[in-house]
Chain A
Amino acid sequence: MSTNNAPTADKQSQQSIAVFLRQNVREYGLLIALVVIMVFFQVVTGGVLFKPVNLTNLVLQNSFVVIMALGMLLVIVAGHIDLSVGSIVAIIGAVAAVMMVNYKVDPWTTSIVSLALGAVIGGAQGYWVAYHRVPAFIVTLAGMLIFRGLTLWFLGGMNIGPFPVEFQKLSTGFLPDLIDMGELHSTSLLLTLAIPLALLWSAWRARKLNESHGIEVEPFPFFAIQNGILVAVMLYLGYQLSTYKGFPNILVIMGVLIIFYSFVTTRTTVGRRIYALGGNEKATKLSGIDTARLSFYTFVNMGFLAALAGLIVAARLNSCTPKAGTGFELDVIAACFIGGASTTGGVGKITGAVVGAFIMGVLNNGMSIMGLGIDFQQMVKGAVLLAAVVFDLYNKNKG
């Protein structure tokens, strides 16, 4: 703030780097963990992990976990939990399958109806949580059983498929190639260059704007290194994907949703209120905020995203099965907690949940390539979840 401290400026900037690191240890720790895990598997699997085919797979396999983690983060930040998402995935898959296969409804109508149904299911659960104060754990545990049972009954234990090609494209399709460039996928390559540039530009603009308002910004070396790494990683991954079939459709949907929910949580009043609600419900209510309605809508939103995940899973398998989505809720919840969300509510970030989901995804994928069984995979995932939360608590107590 004061202006006559030029001689000590150097020392100060060093100090501020240390302070900054300490304040952001959680976020960077998480990203570093993801990078370490990726590099580890890249080495152990003899370079298979980063092969374009496998990267594409990684995206396809994890998209629905990431998408549901966006909704789950809001639910957890609001101080609730949703155990029913796996069952919602199953029932939406079943409904969509019956509509498209048995009744020949077109995929677009089917999708819209399915998404709406997901929102209604979420709302039905949110109603009990928000307006009757039944603990979310109970309501959604009941929902998990009810919707799984309904799916079994509805399908009579049968699989239904295959789906129209148009619908399958949701999960298996790629962006159209606009210009023929031989081996390389042109549209994806273009995006690979454009997105990091746009990102850099907006980061730089935000930094300048903050500076002009006299707001403390992160030390420049940090800004440069952080964004440099980010851009380099994006360029590399984007290029790799472009050498195969290009960007999957699902990656685009996922990207748009991540940006949208990041914006909602950090920049809008709705997001702000969800954090306040989770931090202290009574104080939030006494500040004139309708906390019940807010809780209700986090569940509606969760149901909607679970329905989208249900469509993606169905499209990917090209059939619906009564067992679809079993255990998904645990992966999704784990992703949020690995990503730094607090079990007591009020704390958590969209980016954290996304990185958490990818940590889980890379672990799954890497261990599968190594030929490790599901038994071992589960043990490792459990250990990672525990370690992440212990790390959080340790940090909090220290600070």
Chain B
Amino acid sequence: MSSDVILEMRHITKTFPGVKALDDVNFAVQQGEIHALCGENGAGKSTLMKVLSGVYPSGTYDGEIHYMGELRKFQGIKDSEELGIIIIHQELALIPMLSITENIFLGNEIVEHGVINWAKASKRTQELLAKVGLKDPPSTLITDIGVGKQQLVEIAKALSKKVKLLILDEPTASLNETDSNALLDLLLEFKKQGLTSIIISHKLNEISRVADKITVLRDGSTVETLDCHAETISEARIIKGMVGREISDRFPKRVPKIGETIFEVRNWNAFHPLHGDRQIAKNINLKVKRGEVVGIAGLMGAGRTEFAMSVFGHSYGQRITGEVLLNGKPVDTSTVSKAIDAGLAYVTEDRKQLGLILINSVMHNITLANHKGIAKNLVIDEFIERKTATEYREKLRIRTPNVYQTVGNLSGGNQQKVVLAKWLFANPDVLILDEPTRGIDVGAKYEIYTIVNDLVAAGKAVIFISSEMPELLGTCDRIYVMNEGAIAAEMPIAEASQENIMRAIMRSGEKV
């Protein structure tokens, strides 16, 4: 390519234990363009950016990074930042109890004779804030401004570091439409001034609005790079690139035997635990039948996890209203133990934080949710416990030398199987799985789908929450689409496709 290529990443391959996150990825960015990076969750977008910024230092991946005409070997973020590569992460890295000025110059303070010159810093902050169109005084605490403004502060911070290549990871994920538009306009404005940016986003309408080029990643490989000026790129075109893979035998076959309705949620409403005016579940109605796998599709932040947790023991949210019915009878699920007794189980999205006691053994974790099953009058029968744990270890093929192994030492896939074993032992009628295959390799995924199939074959019901649409299409009998806390659509598997799901999400977004 010509000399105006600012960044070229060649043949980047990055492996984690058991998973190839990036496989021979090529990625080139021209000086002064806005380049969008698209792909499903887990396609490798964030990993690629972490390789670029030095979070994964040179040597931990294969391939070459050429930036401003030279081969670069970044050892850490500091190296890449010095050359003007700045990443703004999805989870903002601002310190809430510090002021805007303090945040912008954190680690980069304006120092004279060993003392910070706050007057100068404050003046400089004002200039930076003017550039991003923020009128708040520099002494405002971060905690006192909204997410949209925080995003702008991040950009001002990037500008203070003499940014040449700005990378935004899902910048609008938590913004409302007005703030999103303002941010995108700002990016276009900076482009006129010659700034190059890379934007990672799920929101395809935004991408088609600002991007000059679009690179699509899928399963850790580059699929294609589309030039938005050479042809008109429709959203459907991007989706096709993102999800274009064949769904062959990545999913075990199952002949559905669907019975009567076993689980039903009626008029479910819940509000955010801290921001009481934000509704996280909006009048949700949902039905699951015996022997059925029902998927809940949606983008990150659609409110699926929040909904599931609010149902399961009111574990999330406040002012929860609505009805839960099991086998046609209303049940109380207001505490986790009541929900379990009623026949519900919920496999959490975040297995390390919410699913497992990492410092305890496989055996103790498996039996944690059902002590009644291993104890008589509070006294644990060690032999029954061991027998139980060993059975599940064999049944789910948990790869561990013995059940006394500390769970923290197992691989992600095996940890996930331990969480599953825990809930299977609790013997629920309805099992809610929240992103059960996140971060685990293809083989373990297959085994987890098999477990799901076995469960429904035994007459139970499964609610499958996943951000990976092929997974939902491959395992479910029916799919609900959720967006912004509400059910946006319901479709039987025959009518469901990735395009349809995406369309449902976007349409519901437009309505709001």
Contacts and interface: CB of A to CB of B under 8 A. Distances in A.
A288 interface: yes
A280 B354 CA distance: 8
A267 B380 contact: yes
A87 B504 CA distance: 64
Chain A interface residue number, banded: 20 to 34
A287 B358 contact: no
B248 interface: no
A276 B386 contact: no
A286 B386 contact: no
A301 to B, nearest CB: 15
A215 interface: yes
Interface in B431-452: none
Given A286-B354, A289-B337, A279 B360 contact: yes
B336 A288 contact: yes
Interface stretch (B139-147, B170-178, B237-245, B364-372): B364-372
Nearest to A281: B357
Interface in A254-282: 267-270, 272-273, 275-276, 279-280, 282
Nearest to B382: A267
A285 B315 contact: yes
Contacts of B463: none
B386 A287 contact: no
Given A283-B355, A286-B336, A272 B346 contact: no
A347 interface: yes
B383 A276 contact: no
Nearest to A213: B383
Interface in A212-235: 213, 215-216
Contact of B375 (A209, A268, A286, A288): A268
Contact of A269 (B335, B359, B375, B386): B375
A288 B359 contact: no
Nearest to A285: B336
Contacts of B355: 283, 286
B386 A215 contact: yes
Contact of A346 (B354, B360, B371, B422): B360
Contacts of B346: 286
B348 A284 contact: no
Contacts of B255: none
Determine the interface band of chain B, counting residues with CB < 8 A from chain A.
Answer: 20 to 34
Given A213-B386, A267-B379, A269-B378, A283 B357 contact: yes
B313 interface: yes
Interface in B357-406: 357-360, 364, 368-369, 371, 375, 378-380, 382-383, 386, 402
B3 interface: no
A288 B337 contact: yes
Contacts of A166: none
Interface in A196-255: 209, 213, 215-216
A290 interface: yes
B339 interface: yes
Contact of B357 (A267, A268, A276): A276
A288 B336 CA distance: 5
A137 B232 CA distance: 63
Contacts of B313: 286, 288
Contacts of A279: 357-360
Interface string A125-143: 0000000000000000000
Contact of A280 (B312, B339, B357): B357
B339, B360, B402 pick with most chain A CB within 10 angstroms: B360
Given A268-B375, A272-B364, A287 B336 contact: yes
B211 interface: no
Given A346-B357, A347-B359, A276 B402 contact: no
B402 A216 contact: yes
Contacts of A268: 375, 378-380
Contacts of B312: 286
Contacts, number: 79
Nearest to B381: A267
Contacts of A288: 313, 335-337, 339-340, 369, 426
Interface in B120-163: none
A170 B359 CA distance: 41
A338 to B, nearest CB: 20
A283 B380 contact: no
A283 B356 contact: yes
A287 B422 contact: yes
B369 A280 contact: no
Contact of B356 (A213, A280, A285): A280
Contacts of A269: 371, 375, 378-380
B371 A273 contact: yes
A284 B368 contact: yes
B353 interface: yes
Given A215-B386, A346-B360, A347-B359, A287 B378 contact: no
A290 B337 CA distance: 8
Nearest to B371: A269
Contacts of B354: 282-283, 286
A287 B364 CA distance: 12
Contact of B369 (A270, A287, A290): A287
A346 B359 contact: yes
Contacts of B383: 209, 213
A268 B380 CA distance: 5
A286 B357 contact: no
Interface string A276-313: 10011011111111100000000000000000000000
B350 to A, nearest CB: 9
Contacts of A347: 359
A267 B375 CA distance: 9
Interface in B207-266: none
A276 B336 CA distance: 16
B378 A276 contact: no
Contacts of A284: 357, 368
A272 B371 contact: yes
Contacts of A275: 357, 360, 364
A165 to B, nearest CB: 39
A287 B379 CA distance: 19
Contacts of B364: 272, 275-276
A272 B380 contact: yes
A215 B383 CA distance: 9
17 contacts: A209-B383, A267-B382, A268-B379, A268-B380, A272-B371, A276-B364, A279-B358, A279-B359, A280-B356, A282-B354, A283-B355, A283-B356, A286-B313, A286-B348, A286-B355, A287-B368, A287-B422
Given A272-B364, A273-B371, 19 more contacts: A213-B386, A216-B402, A267-B379, A268-B378, A270-B378, A272-B371, A272-B380, A279-B359, A282-B353, A283-B348, A283-B354, A286-B354, A286-B355, A287-B336, A287-B422, A288-B339, A288-B426, A346-B357, A347-B359
